[in-house]
Amino acid sequence: MNALPTGGSIRPIIRWGEPVMHRPCSPVEAFDDDLRALVADMVATMHAADGVGLAANQVGVDLAVFVFDCPAEEGRGSVSGVVCNPTLTLPEGHERSLVVSDEGCLSLPGAFVECARLEYAEVNGLDEAGAPVSYAGSSLLARCLQHETDHLHGIVFGDKVPTKLRKRLYKEAAQLADEFPAGWPAVSA
């Protein structure tokens, strides 16, 4: 595991409903200074928003890259990384185990509803320098890897929950809107 880049600037987080959030992202092709700067900004933004993961389209950039800094399984520290052009592998057959747990999204800040995800996930891709990376885990890490990879395919977790829960999610987000003004987390309430 590589240390996450530091020194980035906090960017505003894009909200659900913006077109960049609902279409597949373009693959990363250039592993250059611009990508490294973007990744550093994403890390700074994720930490400023107290998130465990952030995809590039959440800061308005149409590139298939996400960063994460996620608590590992019970008391084992955290797992962090950068993944460009991820390929998600999920268990099949009798190894599939769904877990229903509260889930939220920095692009719909403050709101949480139950969402079913597979208990285990593995993602393979490239880091910001173009080197191969692989991350796998269960619990919150598995949820994070699935959530962030979904973002890069233009899927928000609200697309995965029943209509009743989606309505509750939007209602809760609307009630908390004053705490997360436009430009958040780069601009505070």
User: pLDDT tens-digit profile of 10-43?
Assistant: 999 999 999 999 999 999 999 999 999 999 999 9
Instruction: Give CA–CA dist 122/137, Å, rounded.
Output: 7
User: pLDDT tens-digit profile of 116-126?
Assistant: 999 999 999 99
Question: Of the listed 18, 29, 95, 148, which one is catalytic?
Answer: 148
Q: Please state whether the peptide bond connecting residue 181 to the residue before it is cis, i.e. omega within 30 degrees of 0.
A: no
95 given a catalytic annotation? no
Instruction: Give CA–CA dist 103/105, Å, rounded.
Output: 7
Q: Is 167 helix (H, G, I), strand (E, B) or coil?
A: helix
Predicted model pTM: 0.94
- For residue 131, the model assigns a pLDDT of 97
- For residue 46, the model assigns a pLDDT of 98
Instruction: Give CA–CA dist 135/2, Å, rounded.
Output: 12
Element holding 151 (H helix, E strand)? helix 139-152
Instruction: Give CA–CA dist 155/21, Å, rounded.
Output: 7
Stretches in the chain below the pLDDT threshold 70: 1-2, 73-75, 189
Domains of the chain: 19-179 (3.90.45.10)
